[in-house]
Amino acid sequence: MASAAHGGTGLHRALADERRRRLVEELRGARDGLDVQELARRLELHQNTARWHLGVLADAGIVESRPAPRSAPGRPRILYSLSPSAAAPGRDDYRLLATILAGAASEQDSGRKGAESAGRAWGRYLVRRPQPLARVSDQEAVEEVVRVLEEEGFVPDAHGTDVHMHRCPFHDLAEQHPEVVCAVHRGLISGALEELGSGLEVRELDVFVEPDLCVARLASRSAG
């Protein structure tokens, strides 16, 4: 398969881990920043583990660091804080907009169909296309779907042709308007499979089979 990919979603990937989300929440309430020792204490992590997760957040542009003011000679402490763009209140405006649009779409007769169609278009866009004349196996198709979902923050893994998604980036919104949000996600997977020329399709999308689990069940188009 071709190695070229569309633009990554480092932000979603960085926030896919619960420990990193907790680090962000701790830093959100600390205007002057916190050091690794204090963050590790609050999250009950080893300092090296906390430092590694902070590095992932820094690479995604969510966290920045600076030396603490020194009152005595010696190596200064390093303070971590949210980057200005991550801390800006306006970031929540997108969630508000998404809520408004999902609510509006849910009231339209064609809302679910339109949402799935939009998801299909994005699935075709985000997937890595195979080489011309290349045949993509079911396993390769599932692996590529998992990659796309991972890039978008779903924390997926494959179980045969079932794809388990352990995080929904729009969990609260999906609970309010599953007919729209889940249709987008189903379309995303379907579009990716279509662009790959795969013989698989989304047979079922089981939503919230557990509080942190949705399952996309893929099957051959020729199977009943």
Q: Which two tokens stand for residue 194?
A: 């279509």
Residue type, 158: A
Kindly state the percentage of the chain with pLDDT values over 90: 50
Domain locations along the chain: 10-87, 93-220
Higher per-residue pLDDT: 82 or 29: 82
Fold that domain 10-87 belongs to in CATH: Arc Repressor Mutant, subunit A (1.10.10)
The superfamily (CATH) of domain 93-220 is: Trafficking protein particle complex subunit 3 (3.30.1380.20)
Give every CB contact of residue 209 below 8 A, 6+ residues apart in sequence. Answer: 215
The CA distance from 62 to 81, in Å, is 9
**Residue 86: is its pLDDT beyond 90?**
no
The CA distance from 86 to 94, in Å, is 13
pTM: 0.60
Across the chain, mean pLDDT equals 85
Outline where DSSP puts E strands in 56-151. 63-67, 78-82
Tokens 């279509």 identify what position?
Answer: 194
Average pLDDT over residues 26-36: 88
Strand partners, 200: 220
- Alpha helices (H) along 127-177: 138-151, 171-176
